[in-house]
């Protein structure tokens, strides 16, 4: 059976490769591996998110579902304090390795290892849609309350994977979402607390 990128411990051989991603005007080199999301390089959705977002130069940012770390490393390089969270241990190892290679500081953690009192200014995520709607909803309702009162989340979701219904559902849960852009079949949503 093939690994899923959200498996805690991938069973596939750990075959690594190097990829380059152009993020905010810089070409960054990363190590990827089998058993993690988008091991061939920066996926289209994350590229859309990054190209349509201004890098945060301060504050605390949570990269939810960090994979091999392109968002976490780029945001840390811009000046923010970054927590990279993923259930996949290989993904966390790669994120830490990539952060070190790029000379940036990123704190990596399994979801249950994030301190209970951590409050963040922003959440950035290409959320794991393929875990299923209920699991995705539970995931978002677990992490969105970590936002500071004036904080926001930036999510990228495929239109054909339910971006519009997710936007409506977030609003119903007290987390109104505004569509920042729509490009190449993806929506970038900014989520804030109601009121």
pLDDT in tens, the chain (195 residues): 344 445 555 556 778 999 999 999 999 999 999 989 888 999 999 999 999 999 999 999 999 999 999 999 999 999 999 999 999 999 999 999 999 999 999 999 999 999 999 999 999 999 998 899 999 999 999 999 999 999 999 999 999 999 999 999 999 999 999 999 999 899 999 999 987
pLDDT of residue 8: 54
- What are the percentages of helix, strand and coil residues in the chain, rounded to 5? 35, 30, 35
**Residue 10 located in a structural domain:** no
With CA atoms as reference, report the closest residue to 67 among 48, 41, 44, 49.
41
**Residue 133 located in a structural domain:** yes
**Residue 61 located in a structural domain:** yes
pLDDT of residue 185: 94
Neighbouring residues of 69: CB distance < 8 A, sequence distance ≥ 6: 30, 63, 84, 91, 94, 95, 96, 98, 99, 106
Model pTM? 0.92
pLDDT of residue 81: 98
Q: Cβ(31)–Cβ(54) under 8 Å? A: no
Q: Cβ(50)–Cβ(74) under 8 Å? A: yes
**Residue 5 located in a structural domain:** no
**Residue 11 located in a structural domain:** no
Number of domains in the chain: 1
**Residue 57 located in a structural domain:** yes
**Residue 26 located in a structural domain:** yes
Residue 106: burial class (beta carbons within 10 Å; 0-12, 13-18, 19+) = buried
Neighbouring residues of 109: CB distance < 8 A, sequence distance ≥ 6: 83, 84, 85, 92
* Alpha-carbon span 41 to 53, nearest angstrom: 19
* Phi, psi angles (nearest 5°) of residue 64: -90, 115
- CATH number, domain of 116, equals 3.40.50.150
**Residue 3 located in a structural domain:** no
| Residue ranges making up the domain that contains 57 | 16-191
> pLDDT tens-digit profile of 120-154?
999 999 999 889 999 999 999 999 999 999 999 99
């Amino acid at each position: 059976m093939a690994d899923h990128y959200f498996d805690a411990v991938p069973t596939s051989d750990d075959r690594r490769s190097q990829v380059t991603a152009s993020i905010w005007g810089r070409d960054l080199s990363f190590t990827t591996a089998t058993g993690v999301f988008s091991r061939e390089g920066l996926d289209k959705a994350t590229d859309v998110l990054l190209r349509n977002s201004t890098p945060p130069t301060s504050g605390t940012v949570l990269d939810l579902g960090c994979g091999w770390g392109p968002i976490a490393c780029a945001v840390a390089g811009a000046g923010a304090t970054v927590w990279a969270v993923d259930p996949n241990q290989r993904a966390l190892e790669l994120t830490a390795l990539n952060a070190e290679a790029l000379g940036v500081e990123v704190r990596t953690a399994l979801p249950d290892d994030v301190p209970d009192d951590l409050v963040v200014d922003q959440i950035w995520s290409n959320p794991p849609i393929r875990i299923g709607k209920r699991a995705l909803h539970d995931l978002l309702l677990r992490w969105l309350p970590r936002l500071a009162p004036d904080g926001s989340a930036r999510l990228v979701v495929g239109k054909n994977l339910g971006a519009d219904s997710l936007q409506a559902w977030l609003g119903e849960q007290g987390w109104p979402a505004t569509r920042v852009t729509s490009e190449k079949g993806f929506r970038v949503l900014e989520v804030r607390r109601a009121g």
